[in-house]
Structure 1
Amino acid sequence: MAAFAASRRLKTKPGERFDYASPNTLLVASIIRQKVGGSETDVLNFARRELFDPVGMRGVVFETDAAGTPIGSTRMLAPARDWARLGLLYLHDGVVDGRRILPEGWVAWSTRPTLGSDYGAGLWTNAGDAPNAKGRVRAGMPRDAYFASGRLGQRIYVLPSQDLVIVRMGATWSPDFDIAGDLRLIRETIAALEPVPRP
């Protein structure tokens, strides 16, 4: 899969136009595979050592293409608690138990919108002026929120202003993968966490 993605010609120069495309993460995964030793086992050992174990993600598995390259944009499977731990890593600016896991500035960079879109580096963001971002904010999601969106609507929402991570698991076949239902869940969760006034 990565070789096929690498064989495709660019439609525009990098930085000129945004189009969401899964091959981008597949190419990055291929580069990582080559740099850490070349095999599927090398990639898994690297991911465990550098990310999964320090974060406490114990149940992660990922699928690869025929060359052993993780697909990157999909096919990484984990229980909800592991996804929540990944969300907490981002909520805490890449630091777990005082140890920096992600490079300083990575979270800010990866949540900055790209070329007027509502997408950063692997994450959808409410920052910026893209119509989808504005719509999510109008529907009650905080402006500083961002999220990872997986296959069939599985998502990790990070809401820094609320000090909150919400993991949504399940299989939703609707065209928008029930983003409206997720927005309702977020509004209701925020409301439930507000202090109750005393009589």
Structure 2
Amino acid sequence: MSHSLLIAFVMFATVMFFTPGPNNIMLLSSGLTYGFRPTIPHIMGITVGFAFMVGAVGLGLGTIFIAYPVLQTILKYAGVAYLIYLAWAIAMSEPPSADKDSRGRPMTFWGAAMFQWVNAKGWVMVIGTITAYAAIAAYPWNIAIQVGLSLILGILSCTAWALFGTALRPILTSRRAVRAFNIVMAVLLLASLYPVFMDA
């Protein structure tokens, strides 16, 4: 095992997991809007879904995208459309109240897991992980290490962002403040699409 490459991979993955992106912005908003406990399925869906994607691509699914690049283009623009929809949903979301059945709901485990396949930042992370750090160990142990570290860093970063949003609940107490915060989060989510269009 290449220990120096492993350290480099941990540094790369830590930066990518903890910096703002679609997943983290949505978790921050969900923590504020719904609280930490209802956001747990969202946290787990991101963590497991991304780690599964790393494993699937590392074990050969990536060759399909090499053979049929149009599939990656379709996924990219499906992701853009879905992120625009999510930005709108976040901007319109309000904290649930006891006297009203709010139509908004936290993202489910399966919704969050499936979202990883259309998440532009997720694909950057997967491609960087699989290609640049493949030599950390012999195949397939390199994939197992990458999946394991993705699970650990994923749960840590997702939990941190959701807790950050939850910590804002006592501060942003009015419906108006929550709506304004969620609109800012929606704009940031749309801004995260910039690299996708620059790459187009």
TM-score bracket, normalised by the shorter chain, equals under 0.3
Give me the TM-score of the superposition, normalised by structure 1: 0.25
Bigger helix fraction: 2
Normalised to the residue count of structure 2, the TM-score between the two structures is: 0.25
More strand by share: 1
